Amino acid sequence: MMTAPALTLGQLAERLGATLRGAENKRITGLATLHEAGPEQLSFLANPQYRRFLATTQAGAVLLTAKDAEGYAGDALLVADPYLAYARISHLFDPKPQAVAGQVHPTAVIAADALLDPTASVGPHAVIESGARIGAGVTIGAQCFIGARTVIGDGGWLAPRVTLYHDVTIGQRVSIQSGAVIGGEGFGFANERGVWQKIAQIGGVTIGDDVEIGSNTTIDRGALADTVIGNGVKLDNQIMIAHNVQVGDHTAMAGCVGISGSAKIGKHCMLAGGVGLVGHIEICDGVFVTGMTMVTRSITEPGAYSSGTAMQTAGEWKKSAARFRQLDDMARRLQTLEKRLAAVTSAGDASSDA
Amino acid sequence: MMTAPALTLGQLAERLGATLRGAENKRITGLATLHEAGPEQLSFLANPQYRRFLATTQAGAVLLTAKDAEGYAGDALLVADPYLAYARISHLFDPKPQAVAGQVHPTAVIAADALLDPTASVGPHAVIESGARIGAGVTIGAQCFIGARTVIGDGGWLAPRVTLYHDVTIGQRVSIQSGAVIGGEGFGFANERGVWQKIAQIGGVTIGDDVEIGSNTTIDRGALADTVIGNGVKLDNQIMIAHNVQVGDHTAMAGCVGISGSAKIGKHCMLAGGVGLVGHIEICDGVFVTGMTMVTRSITEPGAYSSGTAMQTAGEWKKSAARFRQLDDMARRLQTLEKRLAAVTSAGDASSDA
Amino acid sequence: MMTAPALTLGQLAERLGATLRGAENKRITGLATLHEAGPEQLSFLANPQYRRFLATTQAGAVLLTAKDAEGYAGDALLVADPYLAYARISHLFDPKPQAVAGQVHPTAVIAADALLDPTASVGPHAVIESGARIGAGVTIGAQCFIGARTVIGDGGWLAPRVTLYHDVTIGQRVSIQSGAVIGGEGFGFANERGVWQKIAQIGGVTIGDDVEIGSNTTIDRGALADTVIGNGVKLDNQIMIAHNVQVGDHTAMAGCVGISGSAKIGKHCMLAGGVGLVGHIEICDGVFVTGMTMVTRSITEPGAYSSGTAMQTAGEWKKSAARFRQLDDMARRLQTLEKRLAAVTSAGDASSDA
């Protein structure tokens, strides 16, 4: 690891607007969980189930709520939301190499009419095509490809080997991890007597501000109008967003989610890992979909949604799965039984009456 | 966006063999949906549910069947299949940058004995290895890698950053999007007392004519013989095709499909998003598999196939999922009830007889 | 294909410690399955269901157990485990181009303070950043990116276009296919009144010896501590391993598996294609999970586990799926029936007593 940065507890308290309880000059060189932290590391208590580690932690200091701090004797930074405070402070200890503003590697191939802000940096073997515009403070990683007329807003960060096709518009402070492909040609074909005829994908992609895009995630360009990703959207790795999808602000998707063409997803939604959406449906704001659910119809009410079955041992599962195929038959037999039992009972009543 | 191309309605009618109804010299600069099109844009009516937009569309002209045109007063191009006509015409308005035939970027690294047709073009930082053969009119995008002895047929188009390993054979007019990997080493291991011993993947990949391969899709090379993709096959993004899979002509797969080793898929099949196939099975021609279905056995009859469960609210789903685990027990209890009720009824009959 | 290597049966027998039955000087130029092999190819019988091909195979020789060889008249190499012998011998016939030890392509961009063993090779347009250390005999493919301070152990092989972020540590003899991304930033955010605040991912990735990583697989770096992949682990294509996952030695995962953050998987496990794991759970050693299963809880007993439903025709499936949503109601009605029938029976008993 690189030489860690060092900050004092006092400096950290000031950064966070936290109440310092302990040695102002204590040196902090990193972050760690409660049970792994050493005397130069800051830790935090966010999940109540880890409270038991407070008694034995070796951490130099802990981010705590005032309430949780009551039972803790060590140095602490008191904050309203320790997890959020950890999120804020984490960037101070990130060993990620920082590009030098304005540095353009001589092996980068940049079109004469591309517009680079003087504070943007470009890594080795990157390619920037005609008419692209790169904003202030943008980092273009090694081996990235930026297509013609594509725009990257101020403060963008592209890991090595990101591909942006032509006519993609990216907002401010957007981070994109390696292997992501934005603006690839969507899956559009017309069937002519069994043979698929390709439809040119002439739309673009519009991505808002403060978006995060994970490794090997793909977002296709629109067929006619643009594919649209809202502000503050967070996309994990290996997500597939098809042409003309619209994703509302501050929606988050975990790894391996697949969204079919022209689906429209609301704001503040959460799609867990492996969720799939069929095309041309609409999900309202505030929907949570659990892992690997297949969403086959529009959702109009906020709330949590699921499909699938729960895991069993393979032996037990085989029995359940076999019965699943008989379910309609079982339901009909159940109905028949109910009718017959009703008949028996009334016949029984009749006979006792007799 | 780039300056749009402009064509007259008359020129478009001629291209399509369409009947022109309206101003021959009307200038058309783009394509759009009925409700988004402006006076210089051509639109189309393919899906009957959008017919209502005909009354209010601002489109300069609309691709219509003669029948649909009856109720429409504006300019129109009359065709048998408007969606197919739109597919054909779409390429005229594609802003995708076109490579200059024969242009090889000086940063490309090309083996001395690779054979490039003089009309092929190669982008910056591409690498072409020994013995590769690149056909007429092929576009090799920036940062592509073409392995030793790999062959790309005439008219191929590779987006930036496509990887073809060695000994891959690609037919004519094949398009491959960014991040696709063709010819990677398949997943073959022999287990020796709990330790996996790798099996060299010495086969190649053979891809037919007119195939489309989406972003970040992977097609592994064969273990012994080749992995084979037929003519006219269309593969969306993030698809995984394992070693020695065979895909029949004109089959289409949507995003995130996974095909296990040595599976054989027929012609004119459609696999919706997220479908998975186990290995060593065979799917006949003309099969449609719905989204996220797990195909665990061969399919010998054309038709539609599904697995999974339908989405519910998470609360309702939890109840269903809990009962799914009791299904075998429920089925047995149902059987018992049927027997007991039969006994009661016959006993009742007996007692009334008495 | 390249000119095939040629070895004699005698040489192969010696390599394998096999008993040779037949012509010691017979020339073998390749490997093939029993029904595809020609007179210069070696084949093998591993799966009993292919025994029928022994009678008609044209193979020059066959890897066989002594027992299976009894019924076979042709040339044979007798071994205890023919599949394992095939695995061993396969590497002799691999047409994969071999890098020349110590060759560094002049277009590679290598930081002055990166440490390359003199026997390591680096392909065109690769980038190696400050403080990286590359071991003996390592092959870095074209267009690879090796981040700052990342370490690759002796004998590693990276296909073209592999991305390793900074502070990734890779053991000995590790193979990584194209498009893989190791060390990308994991999906960590704190929610502040509906807006996601990014958490810097300051951990690294530690990968053991003899690991295989497939095309377009992504392994995220840890949030605080490292993500850890054990020795001998085999990962197929398009797998997603989230931050702080731990994978035990000799575990294998097929394509498209997704593992959520901080999940811990034991040794000698096998996850079939498309399996998903939720985060923060623990899977013990020796677990097998069948294809596309959603693992939602820890597994403490070795064995096989499944979820989902079996494939049906879409028509039949729709009925089953509709009933699945009624399952809880069905279960309650079944219970009611049981009670009512018990009442009827005892009433009947009572009445016969009367």
Nearest CB partner across the interface for B200, out of C2, C91, C331 = C91
Exposed, middle or buried: residue B348 (CB in 10 Å: 0-12, 13-18, 19+)? middle
Interface test with C, best of A53, A311, A319 (most C CBs within 10 A): A311
Residues with Cβ within 8 Å of C201's Cβ and at least 6 positions away in sequence, in order, are A94, C185, C186, C188, C220, C221, C222, C223, C243
pLDDT per residue as tens, chain A (354 positions): 445 578 999 999 999 999 999 999 999 999 999 999 999 999 999 988 899 999 999 999 999 999 999 989 999 999 999 999 999 999 999 999 999 999 999 999 999 999 999 999 999 999 999 999 999 999 999 999 999 999 999 999 999 999 999 999 999 999 999 999 999 999 999 999 999 999 999 999 999 999 999 999 999 999 999 999 999 999 999 999 999 999 999 999 999 999 999 999 999 999 999 999 999 999 999 999 999 999 999 999 999 999 999 999 999 999 999 999 999 999 999 999 999 999 888 875 655 544
pTM of the predicted model as reported, rounded to 2 decimal places: 0.96
Chain B closest CA to A142's CA: distance in Å? 11
Exposed, middle or buried: residue A300 (CB in 10 Å: 0-12, 13-18, 19+)? exposed
Q: How does pLDDT run across B103-140, given as a tens digit for each residue? A: 999 999 999 999 999 999 999 999 999 999 999 999 99
Exposed, middle or buried: residue A233 (CB in 10 Å: 0-12, 13-18, 19+)? buried
What single DSSP character describes residue B7?
Answer: E
Tokens encoding A109 = 């191939």
Nearest CB partner across the interface for C312, out of B305, B344, B347 = B305
Instruction: Please indicate whether, in this complex, the C-beta atoms of A256 and C278 are within 8 angstroms of each other.
Output: no
Which of A321, A288, B233 lies closest to C291, judged by CA? A321
Chain B closest CA to C222's CA: distance in Å? 24
Instruction: Please indicate whether, in this complex, the C-beta atoms of B278 and C291 are within 8 angstroms of each other.
Output: yes
Residue A53 sits at φ, ψ, to 5 deg, of -75, -15
Helix (H) or strand (E) holding B30: strand B30-31
Residues of chain C positioned with their CB less than 8 A from the CB of B228:
none
Q: What is the dihedral of CA A271, A277, A279, A281, to 10 degrees?
A: -60
Vertex C221: Cα angle to C218 and C225 (nearest 5)? 145
- One DSSP character per residue, A208-221 reads -SS-EE-TT-EEEP
Q: What is the pLDDT of residue C351?
A: 52
Chain A closest CA to C201's CA: distance in Å? 7
Helix (H) or strand (E) holding B327: helix B327-353
Exposed, middle or buried: residue C52 (CB in 10 Å: 0-12, 13-18, 19+)? exposed
Report the catalytic residues of B.
Answer: 243
Tokens encoding A41 = 């590391």
Residues of chain A positioned with their CB less than 8 A from the CB of C216:
179, 216, 238
- One DSSP character per residue, A254-317 reads -TT-EE-TT-EE-TT-EE-TT-EE-TT-EE-TTEEE-TT-EE-S-B-S-EEEE-S---EEHHHH
Chains that touch B (3 or more CB pairs under 8 A): A, C
Alpha-carbon span C279 to C224, nearest angstrom: 16
Q: What is the pLDDT of residue B345?
A: 80
Residues with Cβ within 8 Å of B338's Cβ and at least 6 positions away in sequence, in order, are A333, A337
Which of A208, A333, A227, A336 lies closest to A279, judged by CA? A227
Alpha-carbon span B204 to C96, nearest angstrom: 10
Exposed, middle or buried: residue C301 (CB in 10 Å: 0-12, 13-18, 19+)? exposed
Chain A closest CA to B46's CA: distance in Å? 11
Catalytic residue of the set C35, C125, C243, C268? C243
Q: Is the pLDDT of residue C2 over 80?
A: no
Residue of C nearest to B349 (CA): C348
Residues of chain A positioned with their CB less than 8 A from the CB of C192:
81, 84
Instruction: Please indicate whether, in this complex, the C-beta atoms of C323 and A318 are within 8 angstroms of each other.
Output: no
Tokens encoding C46 = 């591993």
Residue C51 sits at φ, ψ, to 5 deg, of -55, -35
Give the three-class secondary structure for C180.
coil
Nearest CB partner across the interface for B166, out of C97, C143, C216 = C97
Residues of chain A positioned with their CB less than 8 A from the CB of B318:
306
Between the alpha carbon of residue B308 and those of residues B263, C20, C274, the distances in Å are 21, 52, 14
pLDDT beneath 50, residues of chain B: 1-2, 353-354
Residues of chain B positioned with their CB less than 8 A from the CB of A309:
309, 321, 324-325
ipTM of the complex: 0.95
Catalytic residue of the set A243, A250, A268, A280? A243
Q: Is the pLDDT of residue C325 over 70?
A: yes
Tokens encoding B16 = 């399509």
What single DSSP character describes residue C22?
Answer: S
Tokens encoding C182 = 């190791």
Residues with Cβ within 8 Å of C243's Cβ and at least 6 positions away in sequence, in order, are C186, C187, C188, C201, C203, C220, C221, C222, C223, C227, C261, C262
Residue of B nearest to C309 (CA): B308
Helices A314-324 & B327-353 angle (0-180, nearest 10): 50
Q: What is the dihedral of CA C45, C51, C54, C56, to 10 degrees?
A: -140
pLDDT-derived band at C354, boundaries 50, 70, 90: very low
Between the alpha carbon of residue B160 and those of residues A166, A242, C161, the distances in Å are 11, 19, 12
* Structure-token match 């597939």, residue found: A240
Give me the long-range contacts of A41-45 (CB less than 8 A, separation at least 24).
Answer: A42/A9, A42/A12, A42/A77, A42/A89, A44/A82, A44/A83, A44/A85, A44/A86, A45/A82
Give the three-class secondary structure for A232.
coil
Interface test with A, best of C109, C182, C202 (most A CBs within 10 A): C202
Chain B closest CA to A245's CA: distance in Å? 14
Contact yes or no for C238/C217 (Cβ under 8 A): yes
Instruction: Please indicate whether, in this complex, the C-beta atoms of A161 and B161 are within 8 angstroms of each other.
Output: yes
Which of A138, A128, A131, A86 lies closest to A108, judged by CA? A128
Q: How far is CA A268 from the centre of its chain?
A: 12
Strand B189-192, strand B195-198: pairing: antiparallel
Task: Give me the helices (H) in chain A, please.
Answer: 9-16, 66-69, 82-90, 314-324, 327-353
Instruction: Please indicate whether, in this complex, the C-beta atoms of A2 and C326 are within 8 angstroms of each other.
Output: no
Q: What is the pLDDT of residue C1?
A: 44
Backbone φ/ψ region at C302: left (φ over 0), alpha (ψ -120 to 50), beta: beta
Alpha-carbon span A161 to A149, nearest angstrom: 19
- One DSSP character per residue, B267-312 reads TT-EE-TT-EE-TT-EE-TTEEE-TT-EE-S-B-S-EEEE-S---E
> What radius of gyration, in Å, describes the C-alpha atoms of chain A?
28
Chain A closest CA to C143's CA: distance in Å? 8
Contact yes or no for B46/B65 (Cβ under 8 A): no
Residues of chain B positioned with their CB less than 8 A from the CB of C248:
none
Instruction: Please indicate whether, in this complex, the C-beta atoms of C305 and A314 are within 8 angstroms of each other.
Output: yes
Instruction: Please indicate whether, in this complex, the C-beta atoms of B202 and C90 are within 8 angstroms of each other.
Output: yes
